[in-house]
Amino acid sequence: MSEPITNIPIPAILEINKGAIFQIEKILQKHGFQRVAVLFDDFTYEHYQPTVKTSTSQLKLEMIKMPSDLDIQALIAQAFDMEQYDVIVAIGGGSLIDYGKYIAYSRRVPFISFPTSASNDGFASSNCSLIVNNKKTTVPAKVPYGIIVDLDIIQQAPAKFILAGIGDLMSNITALYDWSFEEKNQSVTVNHFAAMLSKKAVNSFIRTPMEDIQQPIFIKELVSSLTMGGIATVISGNSSPISGSEHLISHALDKIAEVPAMHGIQVGIATYIMSNVQNHRAERMHKVFTRTGFFDYVKKAGLQKREFQQAVEYAPQIKPNRYTYLHEQKYRQQALEFIDSDPILQELLQ
């Protein structure tokens, strides 16, 4: 039987602009949505709910402030407690976006992602990270129907969120290298269209001036590139185009670290480590992380060297069915030695 012609769901709405928050009603109307639930977290309910309220006059939006720290069971209970809506919009940080994505997925309604920070690619991806049995776990959902990003809002978020987004985006490079490695060593097939998209996303970002990471041009480039990476995962049907050994280290840290750091920060450091182990574009990594201030931030973030080493050892067990560099003892050993000897990491890690 021949393969079916590729038919992938991609977002029908993509608005990345200054002042996008004022356009919500217009966008929803254009797409025929009438019964709308808008979810907020504590912060966004306080700061942006009044703006959404005053800038919508024709549609009746149900504004819902979500509790924080919901685990998957509480979230499902909440999802089935809600009325039926045409669409669910989530305005908030990473966790709130994941709540919205999962609620919309469970209720089979379209989801519009409105991230207020660019700290990872979750706002554009089909997975979400939820608490299952007290641990952060990647749970499948659906790619958003729409992505709306207000550059003014992203710009107001603390710089560390942008830095985390940079870390998560740079990981496309090591992830793609792992994917080819996997193809050579195991019976997986790289989806070349997905790989191209992920590669172009990060390469285009790398060429953007990096003097001021809070400039709208920089943020737009970062957000668009993270979005393209998210779409690459929809094309390949797995997270391989943007998630390789460096993400395994971060997922392992989520399980073992006393205080896990932001996803994109952990991923960024793991990317720096893995690019050196893979001996691929490590110099570029160093340049980007230095120029953007990523390394300077990590110096003060209190990441633990010992925990990174434990995470390297634990990494292959996170996804035993994959075959990244860290699935070979030889490269795990190299990673451990690099963490122990690299002069930059000695400054960055405690």
Query: Least distance from C-beta 266 to Zn ion, angstroms?
Result: 9
Measured from the CB atom, the residue of 136 and 332 that comes closer to Zn ion is 136
* Nearer Cβ to Zn ion (21/121): 121
CB nearer Zn ion, residue 125 or residue 309: 125
Q: How far is CA 43 from CA 92, 118, 153, 280, in A?
A: 8, 16, 12, 40
CA distance 336 to 256: 16
- Count residues binding Zn ion (CB under 5 A): 1
* H/E segment holding residue 61: strand 61-65
Cβ nearer to Zn ion, comparing 36 with 147 = 147
Instruction: Return the number of the residue (11 or 241) whose C-beta is nearest Zn ion.
Output: 241
- The span of 22-30, 60-68, 168-176, 329-337 binding Zn ion (CB under 5 A) equals 168-176
- Asked if 168 is part of the footprint of Zn ion (rule: CB under 5 A), the reply reads yes
Pick the stretch among 4-12, 58-66, 160-168, 319-327 that binds Zn ion (CB under 5 A): 160-168
Query: How many Å apart are CA 263 and CA 285, to the nearest integer?
Result: 17
Nearest position to Zn ion, beta carbon: 168
Q: DSSP class of residue 277?
A: H
Least spacing, CB of residue 144 vs Zn ion, in Å: 16
* Options 26-34, 164-172, 179-187, 228-236: segment touching Zn ion (CB under 5 A): 164-172
Q: Which stretch binds Zn ion (CB under 5 A): 50-58, 87-95, 99-107, 165-173?
A: 165-173
Comparing CB distances to Zn ion, the nearer of 56 and 172 is: 172
**Interaction of residue 98 with Zn ion, rule CB under 5 A:** no
Residues 6+ apart with CB under 8 A from 22: 51, 55
For 346, residues 6+ apart whose C-beta sits below 8 A from its C-beta are none
Describe the strand order of the beta sheet including 13-17 as a list of residue ranges.
Answer: 13-17, 146-150, 111-115, 87-92, 36-40, 61-65
Q: Which is nearer to Zn ion, 21 or 182 (CB)?
A: 182
Stretch that binds Zn ion, among 91-99, 100-108, 109-117, 162-170 (CB under 5 A): 162-170
> Phi and psi at residue 324, in whole multiples of 5°?
-95, 180
Q: Does 254 bind Zn ion (CB under 5 A)?
A: no
Minimum CB distance to Zn ion, residue 245 (Å): 13
Which residue type is seen at 215? Q
- Give the up-direction half-sphere exposure of residue 345: CA atoms within 13 A in the CB hemisphere: 23
Residue with Cβ nearer Zn ion (41 or 121): 121
242 in Cβ contact with 175 (< 8 Å): yes
The DSSP code sequence of 152-203 is HHHHHS-HHHHHHHHHHHHHHHHHHHHHHHHHHHSS----HHHHHHHHHHHH
Least distance in angstroms from the C-beta of 243 to Zn ion: 6
Site residues for Zn ion per CB under 5 A:
168
